[in-house]
Amino acid sequence: MVGNRTSVGLDVHARSVAACGLDGQTGQLFERRLTPDRAEIAAWVAGLPGPVAVTYEAGPTGFGLARYLLERGIECRVAAPSKLQRPCGDRVKTDVRDARHMARLLHLGEIVAVAVPSVEQEAARDLVRARDDVRGDLMSARHRLSKLLLRQGIVYYGGKPWTANHDLWLRAQRRGEVFTRPGLALAFDIAYDTMLATVARRDRLDAAIAVPARSIDLDRVRAGGRDRELAPVERPLDRRLPRAGAHRVLLRRDSVPRFDHQDR
């Protein structure tokens, strides 16, 4: 990479890190098997011929390592996995080979980096992910409860389900003759209590998301960036887009651009 003598590629996993440093002047390779301890990684990188640049693929380990290195003055680029060049016909994949490949790409300037979010931005992303997970849990809980009733020939015809009226109807079914059998009664109670607990979890997350989402300008999000002058929104956001959805869109399109160059 231009301006750096040593290009370091890391293959980062939960319990190990394969590291490879490529000296751009001599062609020498420096390879080491490291632990995920950030201080150990930074110390090894600091011992290489400088200046040094580091790269690794974006993945489930997050951006903590990149922030740690950047705070200590070590250039670090988190590579977009979908933009990485892969050798044709190379079917042998090991951690060491991946680290070497990353180091060579960085040396050639072929790394397409994603923007590294701040701690606060990454926390907001996790909050939205938690809301998405709960949404799936709630769908499953409602499905189990409704199918339990369906197996007993009980179907709701009173309008839209999962409303206050539907909840009163569910409670009335529990007092029916069908659920006097102990096993069936317990199955209903478990399914119903699970649904209520999941609804409570969803409401807690909605309340947490609503705080930062109140400041989101939907017209700004729809315009697709910060480079346009936008008229103020006259109507409140929650009448136009759910807060969780608006928060998710803002995180992906406005606060944290996916790549470090707009043309990518």
List the pLDDT tens digit at each of the 264 positions of the chain.
567 889 999 999 999 999 999 998 888 899 999 999 999 999 999 999 889 999 999 988 889 999 999 999 999 999 998 888 877 766 778 888 889 999 999 998 888 999 898 888 888 888 999 999 999 999 999 999 999 999 999 999 989 999 999 999 999 998 888 888 888 999 999 999 999 999 999 999 998 888 765 554 444 444 444 443 333 333 333 444 455 555 555 555 444 445 445 444
Q: Which of these, 66, 69, 58, 52, lies nearest to 7 by C-alpha position?
A: 52
Q: What is the pTM of this model?
A: 0.69
Match 């072929």 to its residue by tokens: 110
The one-letter code for the residue type at 17 is V
Residues in the chain: 264
Question: Which tokens belong to 210?
Answer: 């609503």
Match 């659920």 to its residue by tokens: 179
Q: Which of these, 128, 248, 134, 126, lies nearest to 199 by C-alpha position?
A: 134
Would the CA dihedral through 213, 214, 216, 219 be positive or negative?
A: positive
At residue 5, φ and ψ (nearest 5 deg) are: -80, -45
